[in-house]
Amino acid sequence: MGRRLRAALRLLDPWALTVVGGLVALSVVVLMASPGPWREVVGPSPLPRLAPACPRDAAVFATVPGGRCVGAAWVHLDPGVPRLTVVLLPARLSVDVPGAGLVPLSEAVARAGPGAAAAALGAGLGVRFDAWASLDQRAVRRVLAPLSGDARPRRGRAALREARRAWRGRGPALAVWRRQYRSLREALPRQPYADMGVVAFSNYVLGFGAVSSDLDLQEAALVGRALKELRPGAVRVTCAPLLMLRCRGEQLWRPDRAALESLRRSVAGGLRVPARPPVVRARTVPARVLVAAPLP
């Protein structure tokens, strides 16, 4: 009888060990899930990190030495299609910068920095920017490089000279804006997007000094991958509708909010935005005088 009992216990030992181990593990799980002082030692479980999304809307500024902005753009990238829409803006456009007041973009970027200028521009356009970038003249020349590949070399060199002059901000504001529009309309669809290296693009944006941006490495790589999928027909360049308010010889360039609302809906809805050349509607504003006097 004793021999049979010992044999039965030997068979039951592994099962008992398994059951006891399972009960211990379950107790630990319940204990850690319950509130208590051990939380202070172990700490709560970290939340899973979500993968970053590709920035869709960015404010891009072209600058000259000294930081003065000579041209800007609202860039909308739709990675799902993919499609790139560039809404060109003149440096004469005024934005309301906290601490600096209502100033043109040409001054806002230099005085407040591209981050503050992007926030002010987004508020003026009614667009929430996910990122901003500032390009110096080296980066601008890379964007304009396809203009030199014209089938007629003399014409290509002339177009490139005119474009570079415009992107240095030389000339009357409206004429500069028009030349900038023509140059981007020709240069952007001809960029070699399919040959773009994602790593090379990320390194150029983040590490070569020609571009300053608030993108991190992952976001830059996502933008690079989306750009690599672009085809020439998926690139659209247009201009924002603007108002020029005149008063006593002074001018104030502001967004035309009624026309801009239609543009915003088209961009947000993924619709094909029609090419709109630079147009500024002029409006004369009567002068007003405000007299402030202390109360008696």
The string of DSSP letters for 59-116 reads EEEEE-TTS-EEEEEEEEEETTTTEEEEEEE-TTBEEEETTTEEEEHHHHHHHH-HHH
For the stretch 22-31, contacts whose Cβ atoms lie closer than 8 Å and that sit 24 or more positions apart, written own/partner, are none
Q: What is the amino acid identity at position 85?
A: T
18/95 same-domain check: no
Do 123 and 149 have their domain in common? yes
Q: Could you tell me the residue range of the domain that residue 63 belongs to?
A: 57-283
Between 141 and 18, the higher pLDDT residue: 141
Torsion of CA 133, 137, 142, 147, to 10 degrees: 120
Cα 21 to Cα 32, 130, 156, 187, distances in angstroms: 17, 51, 79, 69
Q: What is the pLDDT of residue 37?
A: 52
Tokens at 233, concatenated: 């027909």
Task: Please report the pLDDT score of residue 100 as a whole number.
Answer: 84
Same domain, 30 and 115: no
What pLDDT sits at residue 177? 97
pLDDT of 52 over the 90 cut? no
Give domain status of residue 291, yes or no: no
pLDDT grade for 296, boundaries at 50, 70 and 90: low
Considering the domain architecture, whether residues 226 and 161 belong to the same structural domain is answered as yes
Per the prediction, the chain carries an average pLDDT of 84
Q: What CATH number is given to the structural domain containing 195?
A: 3.40.630.190
Among all chains, which residue has been given the structure tokens 């970038």? 133
φ, ψ of residue 99 in degrees (nearest 5):
90, -20
- 79-118 pLDDT, tens digit each: 888 999 999 999 999 999 998 889 999 999 999 999 999 9
Whether residue 232 lies inside any domain: the answer is yes
Residues 66 and 184 in one domain: yes
pLDDT tens-digit readout, 152-201: 677 778 889 999 999 999 999 999 999 999 999 999 999 999 999 999 99
Residue 289 lies in a domain: no
* Residue 64 shares a structural domain with residue 35: no
Instruction: Please check whether residue 48 lies inside any domain of the structure.
Output: no
164 is a domain residue: yes
Domain match, 224 and 257 both: yes
Same domain membership, residue 74 and residue 8: no
Q: How many helices (H) and strands (E) does the chain have?
A: 10, 11
Residue 17's pLDDT is 47
Residue 150: burial class (beta carbons within 10 Å; 0-12, 13-18, 19+): middle
Is residue 293, in this structure, part of any structural domain at all?
no
pLDDT at 31 over 90: no
User: For residue 68, what pLDDT is reported?
Assistant: 96
Both 148 and 271 in one domain: the answer is: yes
Please tell me the predicted confidence (pLDDT) of residue 295.
52
Residue 279, domain member (yes or no): yes
pLDDT of amino acid 231: 87
152 and 6 share a domain?
no
Is there a single domain that holds both residue 273 and residue 138?
yes
23 and 66 both lie in a single domain = no
Domain count along the chain = 2
Q: What is the pTM of this model?
A: 0.79
Residue 50 within a domain = no
